[in-house]
Amino acid sequence: MLTKRIIPCLDIKDGRTVKGVNFVELRDAGDPVALAKLYSQQGADELVFLDITATVDKRKTLVDLVTQVAKEVRIPFTVGGGIGSVEDVYSLLAAGADKISINSAAVAQPVLVDTLAREFGSQCVVVAIDSRQMDGIDWVHTHGGRKSTSLQTRAWAKELADRGAGEILLTSMDHDGTKAGFALELTAAISGALTIPIIASGGAGTMIHFKEVFTSGKADAALAASIFHFKEIGIPELKMYLGDEGVVVRK
């Protein structure tokens, strides 16, 4: 049976992991490759690297990092952050990334999704949506959730699927950082309406939240960052728990 996926997300700046990662197992907690290998050994199903490097000239650092990860890590990984052109995508895929994730660039230029899907195949095109609710309606936001748009989240997700996106990484900005659980209703609505996989993100605080997002939230995968980095939840225990609760996971 196809399993539900657990995906740790690593924030990268200038080729290093940021966000106070604290692992006694690692000599250098800022080394993304070492952290990626550790998560992979612990049973992470995939990894996401989100590059938050501000400057374009640091792009080469990211490509070098992707090469290292591809050489040493034996599970699939996605690279996102600041990707805006076919050339960006080409260099990351050529370096060994399995998938790329675009966000603001898809909003600014939706046809980029079609182009990437045609050029590289839908399987490697993940489109991230940052969503925030206002007066009961879910709106797409960009620039880390700071900038609002005139796009409604559900309609935008449908458009992305029609344009050839392979997966949707849906982050609820209202839930992100709260540790109060994922946005179940929104995730379920989008997952139920589309035939492509949905990765839910934002709000993970307990193991129960993961169970909820896979059952009532109908998510195909769940992404989290700090709860894994700060070891509030270990991936092996999370998978054990989910398995006991009847959620099919890889062990």
Interface pick for other proteins out of 26, 34, 38, 75 (rule CB under 8 A): 75
Q: Site for other proteins (CB under 8 A): how many residues?
A: 34
Under the binding rule (CB under 8 A), the answer on residue 40 touching other proteins is: yes
Look at the alpha carbons of 31, 33, 35, 38 in this order and tell me if their dihedral is positive or negative. negative
- Choosing from 31, 45, 51, 130, the catalytic residue is 130
| DSSP state for residue 99 in the 8-state scheme | E
Under the binding rule (CB under 8 A), the answer on residue 87 touching other proteins is: no
Nearer to other proteins by Cβ, of 145 and 164: the residue is 164
| Residue 117 CB, nearest approach to other proteins (Å) | 11
Residue pair 168/161 in contact by the 8 Å Cβ criterion:
yes
- Residue 55's φ and ψ, nearest 5 degrees, are -100, 145
Q: Build a one-symbol-per-residue string for 115-154: x at contacts with other proteins by CB under 8 A, - elsewhere.
A: -----xxxxx------------------------------
21/23 Cα distance (integer angstroms): 7
HSE of 213 in the Cβ direction (CA atoms, 13 Å)? 32
DSSP string, 10-78: EEEETTEE-S----TT-S-TT-HHHHHHHHHHHT-S-EEEEE----GGGHHHHHHHHHHHHHH--S-EE
**23-31, 57-65, 93-101, 202-210 -> range binding other proteins (CB under 8 A):** 93-101
Interface pick for other proteins out of 84, 110, 164, 197 (rule CB under 8 A): 197
Under the binding rule (CB under 8 A), the answer on residue 220 touching other proteins is: yes
Interface pick for other proteins out of 71, 143, 146, 147 (rule CB under 8 A): 71
Interface pick for other proteins out of 50, 93, 204, 219 (rule CB under 8 A): 93
Catalogue the active-site residues.
Answer: 11, 130
